[in-house]
């Protein structure tokens, strides 16, 4: 794969924040990838940019792109990204870190070009390696229906403390599941009397966690859709206490674990992400041991797509499912290692977008290619729909 040209740019994401886009030209054509960005980022994620900010990252990336222009990269499989990694490593050691969002985008655009070089779709390129070319199973969507926490502005001075209230259909096809989620999302709007959307297109409300779960349960029942929540507990945790603002109360570690258990039981919650703060492996373990059979206890800020943390969480029986966000770790080789580990240990994988998204749909190819059980990429909004549509198109192609 001959690198004819590499152009880094700064573009805007769905929250109108700056992010990195890279355009790579090879003899096969032009390829574009860009990085999403999180708002409730885990402490153990790699830093997104250079410590001096995205501007410095871009300057460094520009210099790096110059260095790799005119070079040849043999990229037959994901692990061949090692050569690019080693060039990045040497460069960063001399000039400073570019950040996980930048290194992820470099990996992603190289993989897109490598797939085209082999005359394959991106998902196929990945699938052939990790699933030996077997026809992949389609993931089910995890859709953010109602927002709270850092993802939502206040409505009449309030918002739910939990970050995301989710809908998770189980259908024979991905496209049916997407349609179901969309109808359920519109139904939820009526029950909530919601007017506005927050991050990820989720409805804004001033209701409490329980009031929202009550509505979500009704929605789930009407449409036959499972329900879930991303508590993002670290975002309202401080020095030993969970600070609930909507009802103005605090909970310690024991109360929090108990509260999670009660909510799961009362509302029949199928999916519970980051119910405890990001260092509390023991608290996750309690939630998992209390969970009903088949329910998912999901790590995100706990695990940050970092193999060492995933190993710890799995060895300690803290999770039975985890979020995979490639830019949390900034390397597709690392993502592959985490996927292989999850497969070996039967941990359910949820490939996930970030709350600040771009029009890149690579996440859909990653989810299908790596054999994810779920893809979490919202229900509404162009940055979300482009990913859902991509999975639907892959599914259509497979069923031809
Ligand atoms: P983020 O949140 O993209 O703002 O980090 C998403 C999540 O916590 O799942
Ligand atoms: Zn999360």
Q: Which ligand 1 atom minimizes the distance to the CA of 42?
A: 5
Give me the CATH code for the 5-129 domain, please: 3.30.390.10
CATH 3.30.390.10 range(s) for the chain read 5-129
Ligand 2 centroid distance, CA of 301 (Å) = 6
Would the CB of 304 count as within 6 Å of ligand 1? no
Q: Which ligand 1 atom minimizes the distance to the CA of 36?
A: 3
What pLDDT, on a 0 to 100 scale, did the predictor assign at position 374? 98
At 15, is the secondary structure helix, strand, or coil? coil
Q: Which ligand 1 atom minimizes the distance to the CA of 39?
A: 4
Ligand 2 centroid distance, CA of 323 (Å) = 7
Question: What torsion, rounded to 10 degrees, do the Cα atoms 360, 363, 365, 368 define?
Answer: -160
Q: Which fold has domain 132-398?
A: TIM Barrel (3.20.20)
| Global pTM value | 0.97
CATH 3.20.20.120 range(s) for the chain read 132-398
C-beta pairs of 318-321 under 8 Å, 24+ apart in sequence: 318/281, 318/282, 318/284, 318/285, 318/288, 319/284, 319/288, 319/347, 320/288, 320/291, 320/296, 320/346, 320/347, 320/348, 321/271, 321/296, 321/297, 321/347, 321/348, 321/349, 321/350, 321/373
Ligand 2 centroid distance, CA of 41 (Å) = 8
- pLDDT string in tens for the chain (400-residue length): 999 999 999 999 999 999 999 999 999 999 999 999 999 899 999 999 999 999 999 999 999 999 999 999 999 999 999 999 999 999 999 999 999 999 999 999 999 999 999 999 999 999 988 888 888 999 999 999 999 999 999 999 999 999 999 999 999 999 999 999 999 999 999 999 988 999 999 999 999 999 999 999 999 999 999 999 999 999 999 999 999 999 899 999 999 999 999 999 999 999 999 999 999 999 999 999 999 999 999 999 999 999 999 999 999 999 999 999 999 999 999 999 999 999 999 999 999 999 999 999 999 999 999 999 999 999 999 999 999 999 999 999 998 8
Ligand 2 centroid distance, CA of 383 (Å) = 18
What pLDDT, on a 0 to 100 scale, did the predictor assign at position 194? 87
């Amino acid at each position: 794969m001959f690198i004819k040209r590499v152009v880094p740019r700064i573009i805007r994401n769905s929250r109108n924040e700056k992010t990195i886009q890279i355009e790579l030209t090879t003899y096969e054509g032009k390829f574009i990838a860009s990085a999403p960005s999180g708002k409730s980022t885990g402490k153990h994620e790699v830093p997104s940019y250079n410590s001096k900010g995205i501007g410095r990252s871009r300057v460094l990336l520009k210099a790096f792109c110059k260095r790799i222009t005119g070079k040849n990269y043999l990229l037959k499989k994901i692990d061949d990204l090692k050569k690019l990694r080693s060039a990045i490593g040497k460069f960063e050691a001399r000039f400073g870190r570019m950040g996980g969002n930048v290194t992820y985008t470099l990996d992603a655009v190289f993989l897109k070009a490598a797939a085209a070089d082999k005359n394959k779709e991106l998902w196929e390129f990945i699938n052939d390696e990790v699933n030996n070319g077997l026809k992949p199973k389609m993931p089910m969507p995890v859709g953010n229906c109602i927002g709270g926490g850092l993802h939502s502005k206040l409505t009449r001075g309030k918002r739910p403390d939990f970050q995301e209230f989710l809908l998770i259909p189980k259908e024979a096809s991905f496209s049916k599941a997407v349609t179901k989620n969309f109808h359920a999302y519109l139904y939820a709007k009526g029950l909530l009397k919601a007017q506005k959307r927050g991050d990820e297109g989720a409805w804004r409300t001033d209701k409490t966690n329980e009031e929202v779960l009550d509505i979500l349960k009704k929605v789930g029942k009407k449409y036959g859709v499972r329900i879930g929540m991303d508590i993002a507990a670290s975002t309202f945790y401080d020095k030993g206490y969970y600070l609930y603002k909507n009802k103005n109360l605090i909970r310690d570690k024991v109360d929090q674990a108990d509260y999670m258990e009660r909510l799961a039981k009362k509302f029949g919650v199928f999916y519970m992400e980051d119910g405890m703060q990001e260092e509390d492996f023991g608290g996750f373990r309690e939630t998992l041991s209390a969970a009903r059979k088949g329910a998912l206890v999901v790590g995100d800020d706990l695990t940050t797509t970092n193999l060492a943390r995933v190993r710890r969480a799995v060895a300690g029986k803290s999770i039975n499912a985890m979020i995979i966000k490639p830019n949390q770790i900034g390397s597709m080789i690392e993502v592959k290692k985490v996927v292989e580990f999850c497969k070996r240990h039967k941990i359910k994988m949820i490939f996930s977008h970030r709350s600040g998204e771009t029009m890149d749909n690579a996440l859909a190819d990653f989810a299908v290619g790596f054999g994810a059980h779920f893809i979490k990429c919202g229900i509404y909004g162009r940055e979300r729909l482009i990913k859902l549509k991509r999975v639907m198109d892959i599914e259509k192609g497979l069923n031809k």
